[in-house]
A and B are shown apart, each in its own frame.
Chain A
Amino acid sequence: MALRWKEYVELADALNKAYPDQTLADMEDAELIKLVKALPDFHDDSEPDETTLMAVMARWISVAYPED
């Protein structure tokens, strides 16, 4: 399935699988966009806004720390 910004839950799962050791506490938006665009299933030409980027980041953090 093609991943788009809108499906941020699936996108975060894919990021966690692709980059399990990534440091998340201080990741900047530019780095996040780069990692998302490098995902093989990601196909979306639209530009994400700040809220979308925060949603992806928050979901990724939640997946990386499932216990909390």
Chain B
Amino acid sequence: MAEKRTEFESLGGNNLDGIGGNAKKITYTAEDGTKRSLQIDCGMKFSDKTLTGVDNYIAPLECDDLLVTHAHADHIAGIIHHIQMNPERPLNIYADKFTHMFMAAEMAKQGLPLDNMPKFHDVEDGKKFNVNGFEIEPVPVTHSAPGAIAFVVESPDGTRLLDMGDFKTTPAELGKGWDDKRFAEVFAKGIDVCFCDSTSTTSKETTPSYEKVTKGFKKILYDNPNAQMMVGTIARSAQQMMADVIAVAEYAKETGTKPKTFILDGASLVMVNNCLNKAGISMTKTCKDRTGVSVNIIDAKSPEARNVPPNERIYMVTGTQGEELAAMARTARGENRNIKPSRSCPNLCVNQQAVIPSGDNQAIVDEMMAALKAQGWKTMIPERGAPFVEGETYYVSGHGRAGDMEKVAEIAAANMPKDRQCTFIGIHGNEEQTKATEEIFKAKGQKVEHITNAQKVEVSNGDVKVAKTIGRATRIAVIDQNDDFRDPDFKYVKETFNPVAKKWEEVAEVPYKKILDPAANKFKGNNGKGGRGGKKGHRHKINPAVMAQVAKRSR
């Protein structure tokens, strides 16, 4: 007879060299040796193709039952590639309704046939469900993506693991979010191992709430009362957009003015708004319930948008990092048919995302902002890592810092049953970040362990052990041989990590079927003025002086 045990393995996300490609596998072995497994998340890790020759790396998908914590690419973007590598697999996905809608929309955008779509199962707070013999309890958390959840996974032998997903411990603006009482309940039932997001734990204090964004954004409205605004955001991180909407409502109430209208320019934002409505967490309804003020959110192509006076417009756009085809860069090039600087009022561009330090991002964003300035837009962009200033800061992260981890430790300490001990392990980060997480819990008197990818954590009869040997982590290199996302020709290469040589080694090419409908992207970037070519993520150099001339001509 084998010993009953539950194993946790980080399939990706606990990297030596950065964040991304998150995936975790949980396996239960019964006394008769039979095994059952499920996976949590299957994400992507970005790659600089100019250096690696690889577009992206994706985590493995080792189970047909997949729990998904939230809708960010580093947790979900591997899935559609795995479907192409094995279109017949019977994939079941368990996720919050917004995450479900968002994933279905993304897969449809890329032309995945309906017959190859996974089977989606909507999960809700307070409703436990069973997957392959595991009892699963979803618990809402706050993250920049709405509908983010943590999962308690209980094995048939009663072992309880808690994957926190990506989280911070302040309230959500949209939908359900972090609730101290809810986590007190979870820990009161006993948790054997808690896996915590380490992205921002090297930073002190607690990550500010979205309420602080509302205050900062409201100050911008007070400082620029008559401006036509263009606000750069990340579509799927809609908590921040919701904070802006609340700011507009509160400003209108405080000043007795008509609320400005949000005009969504771009497929991603229109789609996210649609997904939010379908998930029952509409931004307009949330705003009305919270403030009593109705704020209009419309799409840029609707006839209604043309009738909104310029100084009442807040264009929401994507492309905060200067992505070539996104609305902000097209506006900077004078190529956006929907957004032009107004001559009847001041123009203000607020890029609500700091520059992500990668490749030549800084230079590209600087050029884009300079080109907008040359067209007459006043520009604002937050500085990465700048200290929080009450009433000024208009961007916050969705990841918890040291203070958030301390709060989790305190809730656990106050509520865990006396005869059970929780072990805390940092995940979702590089070595420095995951170790920082563990130090925080250790300082709070909690038991900690440390793992890397492919290093198993085993729980048997309440004993938690980390495997001394590290297996070979696996990833799939995704290479678009056409280098054109409108007509990709993928090559998938399985690689494993050699822990002795400390390098990735190619194992084999993985065959795949071209199942995406080629008609789905045929119009991208070659219809009208938008975009040039189709290099995914490719960014244009912009000459501000030239763009200023373009803008003058286009007025």
Residues of A whose CB lies within 8 Å of any CB of B are 5-6, 8-10, 13, 21-29, 50-52, 54-59, 61-68
A-B contact pairs, 26 of them (CB 8 A): A9-B517, A9-B520, A21-B303, A22-B302, A23-B304, A24-B270, A25-B269, A25-B299, A51-B100, A51-B120, A55-B105, A55-B108, A57-B105, A58-B104, A58-B109, A61-B105, A61-B267, A61-B270, A61-B271, A61-B274, A65-B266, A65-B270, A67-B325, A67-B330, A67-B529, A68-B325
B274 and A57 contacting across the interface, CB-CB below 8 Å:
yes
Min CB distance A14 to B, Å, is 12
With a cutoff of 8 Å between Cβ atoms, the chain A residues found around residue B514 in the complex are none
Min CB distance B182 to A, Å, is 27
B114 in the interface, Cβ–Cβ < 8 Å? Answer: yes
| Residue with the greatest number of chain B CB neighbours at <10 A, chosen from A6, A24, A50 | A24
With a cutoff of 8 Å between Cβ atoms, the chain B residues found around residue A25 in the complex are 264, 269-270, 273-274, 297-299, 302
B286 in the interface, Cβ–Cβ < 8 Å? Answer: no
Given contacts A54-B101, A68-B325, contact A26 B273 (CB under 8 A): yes
Number of A-B contacts (CB under 8 A): 123
CA distance A46 to B224 in the complex (A): 52
With a cutoff of 8 Å between Cβ atoms, the chain B residues found around residue A29 in the complex are 278
Min CB distance A13 to B, Å, is 8
CA distance A61 to B282 in the complex (A): 18
Min CB distance B11 to A, Å, is 26
A63 and B523 contacting across the interface, CB-CB below 8 Å:
yes
What 5 new A-B contacts, CB under 8 Å, besides A21-B303, A50-B100? Answer: A9-B111, A26-B273, A26-B274, A50-B101, A67-B325
Min CB distance B542 to A, Å, is 16
With a cutoff of 8 Å between Cβ atoms, the chain B residues found around residue A57 in the complex are 105, 271, 274
With a cutoff of 8 Å between Cβ atoms, the chain B residues found around residue A6 in the complex are 113-115
CA distance A62 to B264 in the complex (A): 13
Residues of B whose CB lies within 8 Å of any CB of A are 100-101, 104-109, 111, 113-115, 117, 120, 264-271, 273-275, 277-278, 282, 284, 297-299, 301-304, 318, 325-327, 330, 336, 517, 519-520, 523-525, 527-531
A59 and B520 contacting across the interface, CB-CB below 8 Å:
yes
Given contacts A8-B114, A9-B111, A55-B117, contact A64 B267 (CB under 8 A): yes
With a cutoff of 8 Å between Cβ atoms, the chain A residues found around residue B264 in the complex are 25
CA distance A56 to B104 in the complex (A): 10
With a cutoff of 8 Å between Cβ atoms, the chain A residues found around residue B277 in the complex are 26, 28
Given contacts A54-B108, A58-B104, A58-B105, contact A9 B519 (CB under 8 A): yes
CA distance A66 to B531 in the complex (A): 9
CA distance A24 to B525 in the complex (A): 20
A66 and B520 contacting across the interface, CB-CB below 8 Å:
no
With a cutoff of 8 Å between Cβ atoms, the chain B residues found around residue A67 in the complex are 266, 325, 327, 330, 336, 525, 527-531
A62 and B274 contacting across the interface, CB-CB below 8 Å:
no
CA distance A10 to B529 in the complex (A): 24
B278 and A50 contacting across the interface, CB-CB below 8 Å:
yes
With a cutoff of 8 Å between Cβ atoms, the chain A residues found around residue B524 in the complex are 66
CA distance A50 to B104 in the complex (A): 9
B517 and A23 contacting across the interface, CB-CB below 8 Å:
no
CA distance A24 to B105 in the complex (A): 14
B108 and A65 contacting across the interface, CB-CB below 8 Å:
no
Task: Please tell me which one of the listed residues A50, A52, A62 contacts residue B267 in the complex, with CB atoms under 8 A apart.
Answer: A62
Given contacts A21-B301, A54-B104, contact A65 B267 (CB under 8 A): yes
B274 and A68 contacting across the interface, CB-CB below 8 Å:
no
With a cutoff of 8 Å between Cβ atoms, the chain A residues found around residue B105 in the complex are 54-55, 57-58, 61
CA distance A27 to B107 in the complex (A): 19
A21 and B519 contacting across the interface, CB-CB below 8 Å:
no
Cβ-closest chain B residue relative to A27: B274
Query: Which 3 residue pairs spanning A and B have beta carbons closest together?
Result: A67-B530, A58-B105, A55-B108
CA distance A67 to B284 in the complex (A): 26
Cβ-closest chain B residue relative to A52: B114
Min CB distance B87 to A, Å, is 15
With a cutoff of 8 Å between Cβ atoms, the chain B residues found around residue A65 in the complex are 265-267, 270, 301
Task: Please tell me which one of the listed residues B107, B299, B336 contacts residue A55 in the complex, with CB atoms under 8 A apart.
Answer: B107
Given contacts A9-B517, A9-B519, A54-B101, contact A26 B301 (CB under 8 A): no
With a cutoff of 8 Å between Cβ atoms, the chain A residues found around residue B527 in the complex are 66-67
Task: Please tell me which one of the listed residues B278, B517, B523 contacts residue A66 in the complex, with CB atoms under 8 A apart.
Answer: B523
With a cutoff of 8 Å between Cβ atoms, the chain B residues found around residue A22 in the complex are 302
With a cutoff of 8 Å between Cβ atoms, the chain A residues found around residue B325 in the complex are 67-68
